[in-house]
Every structure is written in structure tokens, then in C-alpha cells.
Structure 1
């Protein structure tokens, strides 16, 4: 099993600007989703209502929106990327599953699938060479 250090060495040796651009776009996407959930609370409320009635719906809404905003920002700049992606994983898995348990929406399914695949990729790849993590590691 590869350690984080080995994964970082591999990622830094195989870093490319397009992958860093994908990481930034992924972070911006999550950030904007979080902002959408805050500004349009009915949107997430309607999504959660299709899956059933949750007693702690407001807690879930606040967790999802803040996790997306903070995590998206951290992924975008490449700071603690793997940790940020791990926080996103339960949300992305639930987003994917909600499409099967409720009314299937192709657009939401494609977004959730792409986001989950990118999250899995960045768990292994990390933040790459053009990130705050790399900068902090090199300037210790």
C-alpha cells in the first residue's frame, strides 16, 4: 500500500498544469455549489424532501453548504487537498445516491458522478506541484 509520501512524490513527478487547472475548476465548482445552497435554500430543501423527511434537515443544509464553500476554497488553492476531498466524499456519495432513491435527474447525476470521480482522483493525486501544500513543504 502506498503511503502519502510516496503518492506525493509520484504526483510531483507527474504534475501538469492541466491537472492543476482541473483541481482549481473542481474547487470553484464546489464553492459555487455551496453558495447556491446558501442563497437558494429551497433548492437543497427540495432535494432532501424527495428522499424523505429528515429531522435534522437544517443541520444537513448547513453542513453541506459550509463543507462545499470551505472545502472548495481549500481544494482550489491546493491547501490540505486530500483532507478537503475526504470531507466532500460523503456529500458526493449521497448526492449520487439521491438520484436513484428519488426522482432521477440526468443533470444532477452527471454533476455528482463527475464530482465523485474527480474527488477519488484527487484523493490519490493530491494537490500537485502548483499548490499551497507544495509551497509550504518546500519552504519549511
Structure 2
């Protein structure tokens, strides 16, 4: 808990509007990706082919959509950002692995790596000063 408090203090002292814009853009991207997966079921099934023989393969698909929807919205508002980002990490690591197990798609690989890097950054940085987390903390 002390580590999170020290990270929050550092992030609030070094917060900038461009980082908030990046956080909001990341959340919007994840939400749109969830909508895309839901509306294009065949694409989702095709991406899941390398994992279809694993136990719990169907659970993976049912984890991705809600994690992108809810996590994307939480990241946009800056509410429970670290938890929302932590929920995205297994999905993004899987997205990188899919490119090496299945058919290599350079654009998807770069997109997954950039999103993974941003999520790791916001896992440590948090939501920043211009967020619902900060606002709720200041209401105490």
C-alpha cells in the first residue's frame, strides 16, 4: 500500500494533460476494440484458433469482451485505472503470443505491443491528477 501511495504522489506531482489524453485514448481504443470483437464474431473466433484446444478456451473469449468494455470505460474516466489496466495485461500478452503461434500480422503485433507498453506504463503511473480517482480522493 505504501508503494501505491508513493507512486500516486509521484504521478500527481508529474501529471500533464498530454498523458491524460493518452490515457483517455487508450481507454477509448480498448472500448472500441471490445465493440469490434463483439460485432465481428468471426474475427474473434479466428483469432482464438491457436487457443481452441486449451482448456477454458471459451472462457478466454468471454473474458476479453467484458474486460475491454469495462476496463476501457474505467481507464477513460481514470477510475480504478491500475486495476483496469491489470485486467488488460493477460489479454494483451495473449495478443502478442497469437502473432507468433498463429499467422503473423505485423499491424496487429505492433498495435498489441504499443497497447501493452501503454498499459504497463499506466500500471505504474496510475490515473494521474485529472481523473475520477484523484477527484474522489480529494473529497475525503
Cα RMSD after superposing both structures? 1.3
**Does 2:96 align with 1:78?**
no
Q: How does 1:93-104 map to 2 (within 5 A)?
A: 93-104=93-104
Give per-residue Cα distances to partners, 1:86-117, cap 9 Å, x unaligned.
01100000101111111100110011000100
Q: Distance in 2 between matches of 1:135 and 1:52?
A: 43
**Does 2:62 align with 1:88?**
no
Q: How does 1:28-107 map to 2 (within 5 A)?
A: 28-54=28-54, 56-107=56-107
Q: Which consecutive unaligned segments of at least 5 residues does structure 2 have?
A: none
Corresponding residue number in structure 1 for 2:113: 113
Q: Distance in 2 between matches of 1:60 and 1:23?
A: 25
Which aligned segments of 4 or more residues in structure 1 are displaced greater than 4 angstroms? none
Q: Distance in 2 between matches of 1:93 and 1:14?
A: 28
CA-CA distance at 1:58 after TM superposition: 3.3
Q: How many aligned residue pairs are there?
A: 139
Structure-2-length-normalised TM-score: 0.94
Q: 1:40 to 1:106 in 2, by over 3 A?
A: same
Q: Distance in 1 between matches of 2:106 and 2:120?
A: 21
CA-CA distance at 1:35 after TM superposition: 0.7
